[in-house]
Amino acid sequence: MSKTIIDAYEIEEDPFFAMDLAQMAKARNYMAWQFQLIKPYLGRSILEIGGGIGNFTTRLADCADQVISIEPNQHCFAKLVEKTAHLNNVTAHHTTAEDLADLIPEGYKADTIVCMNVLEHLKDDVLAINTFCRYLKSGGNLVLINPAVPWIFGVIDRKLGHYRRYSKQSTLDLLAATGLKPVELHYFNFIGVWAWWWNARVAKAETQSNFQIKVFDKLIVPIASRLEALVPLPVGQSLLVVAEK
Protein backbone atom coordinates (compact mmCIF):
# COMPACT_ATOMS: atom_id res chain seq x y z
CA MET A 1 0.00 0.00 0.00
CA SER A 2 1.42 3.36 -1.00
CA LYS A 3 2.33 5.87 1.70
CA THR A 4 3.16 8.74 -0.64
CA ILE A 5 0.75 11.27 0.86
CA ILE A 6 0.09 9.93 4.32
CA ASP A 7 3.56 9.99 5.93
CA ALA A 8 2.60 11.24 9.42
CA TYR A 9 -0.93 9.92 9.14
CA GLU A 10 0.31 6.36 9.54
CA ILE A 11 -1.64 3.19 8.90
CA GLU A 12 -0.09 1.69 12.03
CA GLU A 13 -1.76 2.36 15.36
CA ASP A 14 -1.15 5.81 16.82
CA PRO A 15 -2.31 5.82 20.47
CA PHE A 16 -1.95 9.60 20.94
CA PHE A 17 -3.94 10.38 17.80
CA ALA A 18 -6.67 7.91 18.79
CA MET A 19 -6.75 9.34 22.32
CA ASP A 20 -7.24 12.86 20.95
CA LEU A 21 -10.18 11.72 18.82
CA ALA A 22 -11.73 10.02 21.84
CA GLN A 23 -11.29 13.19 23.90
CA MET A 24 -12.95 15.34 21.25
CA ALA A 25 -15.82 12.86 20.84
CA LYS A 26 -16.93 13.94 24.32
CA ALA A 27 -17.22 17.56 23.15
CA ARG A 28 -20.69 17.03 21.74
CA ASN A 29 -21.61 20.69 21.41
CA TYR A 30 -18.38 21.38 19.53
CA MET A 31 -18.93 18.39 17.23
CA ALA A 32 -22.45 19.66 16.50
CA TRP A 33 -21.16 23.18 15.83
CA GLN A 34 -18.62 21.97 13.30
CA PHE A 35 -21.19 19.81 11.57
CA GLN A 36 -23.69 22.66 11.29
CA LEU A 37 -21.00 24.71 9.55
CA ILE A 38 -20.41 22.09 6.85
CA LYS A 39 -23.99 20.86 6.47
CA PRO A 40 -25.14 23.44 3.88
CA TYR A 41 -22.42 22.25 1.49
CA LEU A 42 -23.12 18.52 1.61
CA GLY A 43 -24.54 16.56 -1.30
CA ARG A 44 -26.33 13.22 -1.34
CA SER A 45 -23.20 11.19 -2.10
CA ILE A 46 -20.30 11.81 0.31
CA LEU A 47 -16.74 10.55 0.45
CA GLU A 48 -15.23 11.10 3.89
CA ILE A 49 -11.44 11.13 3.92
CA GLY A 50 -10.12 10.16 7.34
CA GLY A 51 -13.24 8.99 9.14
CA GLY A 52 -11.29 8.54 12.36
CA ILE A 53 -13.43 6.85 14.99
CA GLY A 54 -16.64 8.00 13.32
CA ASN A 55 -17.16 11.28 15.16
CA PHE A 56 -18.75 12.84 12.05
CA THR A 57 -19.60 9.80 9.96
CA THR A 58 -22.95 9.08 11.58
CA ARG A 59 -23.95 12.74 11.17
CA LEU A 60 -23.02 12.61 7.49
CA ALA A 61 -25.16 9.50 7.10
CA ASP A 62 -28.18 11.34 8.48
CA CYS A 63 -28.24 13.73 5.52
CA ALA A 64 -26.83 11.64 2.65
CA ASP A 65 -27.99 8.72 0.55
CA GLN A 66 -24.51 7.19 0.52
CA VAL A 67 -21.37 7.73 2.59
CA ILE A 68 -18.03 6.08 1.87
CA SER A 69 -15.61 6.65 4.73
CA ILE A 70 -11.93 5.72 4.54
CA GLU A 71 -9.53 5.47 7.46
CA PRO A 72 -5.92 4.17 7.30
CA ASN A 73 -5.28 3.93 11.06
CA GLN A 74 -6.09 0.39 12.20
CA HIS A 75 -7.26 1.28 15.72
CA CYS A 76 -9.47 4.11 14.47
CA PHE A 77 -10.86 2.01 11.64
CA ALA A 78 -12.06 -0.65 14.09
CA LYS A 79 -13.93 2.03 16.04
CA LEU A 80 -15.32 3.50 12.82
CA VAL A 81 -16.73 0.12 11.76
CA GLU A 82 -18.21 -0.44 15.22
CA LYS A 83 -19.93 2.94 15.20
CA THR A 84 -21.37 2.65 11.69
CA ALA A 85 -22.19 -1.07 11.47
CA HIS A 86 -25.92 -0.42 11.85
CA LEU A 87 -26.05 2.16 9.04
CA ASN A 88 -27.04 0.74 5.66
CA ASN A 89 -25.89 3.83 3.77
CA VAL A 90 -22.31 3.82 5.15
CA THR A 91 -19.41 1.80 3.76
CA ALA A 92 -16.09 1.98 5.60
CA HIS A 93 -12.75 1.02 4.04
CA HIS A 94 -9.39 0.53 5.75
CA THR A 95 -7.37 2.27 3.05
CA THR A 96 -5.91 5.52 1.79
CA ALA A 97 -7.31 7.69 -1.01
CA GLU A 98 -4.52 6.47 -3.26
CA ASP A 99 -5.70 2.86 -3.01
CA LEU A 100 -9.44 3.51 -2.87
CA ALA A 101 -9.99 2.83 -6.58
CA ASP A 102 -9.53 -0.91 -5.96
CA LEU A 103 -12.44 -0.98 -3.50
CA ILE A 104 -15.19 1.11 -5.09
CA PRO A 105 -17.21 0.86 -8.31
CA GLU A 106 -15.38 1.98 -11.43
CA GLY A 107 -16.17 5.58 -12.26
CA TYR A 108 -17.40 6.45 -8.75
CA LYS A 109 -17.70 10.21 -8.20
CA ALA A 110 -18.99 11.83 -5.01
CA ASP A 111 -21.08 14.99 -4.78
CA THR A 112 -19.01 16.05 -1.78
CA ILE A 113 -15.66 15.10 -0.29
CA VAL A 114 -15.32 15.84 3.42
CA CYS A 115 -12.03 16.06 5.33
CA MET A 116 -12.43 17.02 8.97
CA ASN A 117 -9.06 17.88 10.53
CA VAL A 118 -7.14 15.62 8.14
CA LEU A 119 -5.17 17.75 5.69
CA GLU A 120 -2.73 19.01 8.32
CA HIS A 121 -1.52 15.41 8.80
CA LEU A 122 -0.42 15.09 5.18
CA LYS A 123 3.05 16.21 4.18
CA ASP A 124 2.16 17.12 0.59
CA ASP A 125 -1.27 18.73 0.80
CA VAL A 126 -1.33 19.66 -2.89
CA LEU A 127 -0.81 16.04 -3.89
CA ALA A 128 -3.38 14.97 -1.30
CA ILE A 129 -6.12 17.25 -2.63
CA ASN A 130 -5.40 16.25 -6.22
CA THR A 131 -5.68 12.61 -5.16
CA PHE A 132 -8.95 13.18 -3.28
CA CYS A 133 -10.51 15.07 -6.15
CA ARG A 134 -10.18 12.14 -8.53
CA TYR A 135 -13.35 10.97 -6.81
CA LEU A 136 -15.22 14.29 -6.91
CA LYS A 137 -17.82 15.20 -9.53
CA SER A 138 -17.29 18.28 -11.64
CA GLY A 139 -19.15 21.02 -9.78
CA GLY A 140 -18.90 19.08 -6.52
CA ASN A 141 -17.57 20.49 -3.26
CA LEU A 142 -14.44 19.67 -1.31
CA VAL A 143 -15.26 20.54 2.31
CA LEU A 144 -12.41 20.91 4.80
CA ILE A 145 -12.04 21.86 8.40
CA ASN A 146 -8.40 22.65 9.10
CA PRO A 147 -6.56 23.91 12.17
CA ALA A 148 -5.79 27.59 11.71
CA VAL A 149 -3.35 30.28 12.88
CA PRO A 150 0.25 29.15 12.20
CA TRP A 151 1.66 31.14 15.13
CA ILE A 152 -0.09 28.96 17.72
CA PHE A 153 1.53 25.76 16.37
CA GLY A 154 2.90 23.87 19.37
CA VAL A 155 3.86 20.57 20.98
CA ILE A 156 0.36 19.11 20.76
CA ASP A 157 0.34 19.80 17.02
CA ARG A 158 3.64 17.99 16.62
CA LYS A 159 2.52 15.02 18.73
CA LEU A 160 -0.63 14.76 16.64
CA GLY A 161 1.48 14.57 13.50
CA HIS A 162 0.51 18.00 12.19
CA TYR A 163 2.74 19.49 9.52
CA ARG A 164 1.07 22.89 9.61
CA ARG A 165 -1.78 25.12 10.65
CA TYR A 166 -3.51 27.15 7.93
CA SER A 167 -4.32 30.79 7.25
CA LYS A 168 -6.77 32.09 4.68
CA GLN A 169 -3.89 33.10 2.41
CA SER A 170 -2.11 29.74 2.60
CA THR A 171 -5.45 28.09 1.86
CA LEU A 172 -6.06 30.29 -1.18
CA ASP A 173 -2.56 29.43 -2.41
CA LEU A 174 -3.33 25.74 -1.93
CA LEU A 175 -6.60 25.94 -3.84
CA ALA A 176 -4.92 27.86 -6.67
CA ALA A 177 -2.29 25.13 -6.91
CA THR A 178 -4.96 22.45 -7.19
CA GLY A 179 -7.27 24.28 -9.59
CA LEU A 180 -10.22 24.45 -7.21
CA LYS A 181 -12.55 27.44 -6.94
CA PRO A 182 -12.95 28.94 -3.44
CA VAL A 183 -16.56 29.01 -2.29
CA GLU A 184 -16.21 29.69 1.44
CA LEU A 185 -13.34 30.53 3.81
CA HIS A 186 -14.61 30.97 7.33
CA TYR A 187 -12.65 31.20 10.59
CA PHE A 188 -14.42 29.93 13.69
CA ASN A 189 -13.72 29.35 17.39
CA PHE A 190 -12.09 32.68 18.28
CA ILE A 191 -11.67 31.80 21.97
CA GLY A 192 -9.94 28.57 21.03
CA VAL A 193 -7.06 30.55 19.52
CA TRP A 194 -6.08 31.91 22.89
CA ALA A 195 -6.58 28.62 24.72
CA TRP A 196 -4.36 26.85 22.19
CA TRP A 197 -1.80 29.68 22.38
CA TRP A 198 -1.73 29.36 26.18
CA ASN A 199 -1.20 25.62 26.00
CA ALA A 200 1.45 25.90 23.28
CA ARG A 201 3.42 28.95 24.37
CA VAL A 202 2.88 29.32 28.12
CA ALA A 203 1.88 26.00 29.65
CA LYS A 204 3.95 24.00 27.12
CA ALA A 205 1.26 21.34 27.34
CA GLU A 206 1.81 18.02 25.57
CA THR A 207 -1.80 16.84 25.71
CA GLN A 208 -5.21 18.47 25.65
CA SER A 209 -6.87 18.86 29.01
CA ASN A 210 -10.10 16.94 29.62
CA PHE A 211 -11.13 19.69 32.04
CA GLN A 212 -10.52 22.43 29.48
CA ILE A 213 -12.45 20.52 26.83
CA LYS A 214 -15.38 19.99 29.19
CA VAL A 215 -15.56 23.67 30.22
CA PHE A 216 -15.17 24.81 26.62
CA ASP A 217 -17.88 22.46 25.36
CA LYS A 218 -20.43 23.07 28.11
CA LEU A 219 -20.01 26.78 28.79
CA ILE A 220 -18.32 28.45 25.83
CA VAL A 221 -19.48 26.69 22.67
CA PRO A 222 -23.23 27.37 23.14
CA ILE A 223 -22.53 31.11 23.39
CA ALA A 224 -19.64 31.37 20.93
CA SER A 225 -21.44 29.47 18.17
CA ARG A 226 -24.35 31.92 18.32
CA LEU A 227 -22.21 35.05 18.49
CA GLU A 228 -19.89 33.96 15.69
CA ALA A 229 -22.87 33.34 13.43
CA LEU A 230 -23.54 37.08 13.63
CA VAL A 231 -20.04 38.55 13.38
CA PRO A 232 -17.32 37.57 10.86
CA LEU A 233 -14.05 36.72 12.60
CA PRO A 234 -10.57 38.02 11.71
CA VAL A 235 -9.09 34.83 13.14
CA GLY A 236 -10.17 31.53 14.67
CA GLN A 237 -8.66 28.28 15.89
CA SER A 238 -10.14 26.46 12.89
CA LEU A 239 -10.88 27.29 9.29
CA LEU A 240 -13.87 26.06 7.27
CA VAL A 241 -12.91 25.69 3.63
CA VAL A 242 -15.33 24.90 0.80
CA ALA A 243 -13.96 24.64 -2.75
CA GLU A 244 -15.65 23.65 -6.00
CA LYS A 245 -14.12 21.38 -8.60
Q: Helices in 44-117 by DSSP H: which ranges?
A: 57-62, 74-84
**What DSSP letter does each residue of 109-132 carry, written as one string?**
-EEEEEEES-GGG-S-HHHHHHHH
Looking at residue 11, what is its pLDDT? 41
Angle at 6 between CA 28 and CA 124, to 5 degrees: 105
Distances (CA, A) of 188 to 80, 151, 228: 26, 16, 7
Report the predicted TM-score, pTM, of the whole model to 2 decimal places. 0.90
Count of alpha carbons within 13 angstroms of residue 122, beta-carbon side: 25
Domain extents in the chain = 15-244
Please, which residues have CB within 8 angstroms of residue 74's CB and are 6 or more apart in sequence?
Answer: 11, 12, 13, 94
Low-confidence ranges of the chain (pLDDT < 50): 1-4, 6-12
Looking at residue 119, what is its pLDDT? 95
Q: CATH class for domain 15-244? A: alpha beta
153: left (phi over 0), alpha (psi -120 to 50) or beta: beta
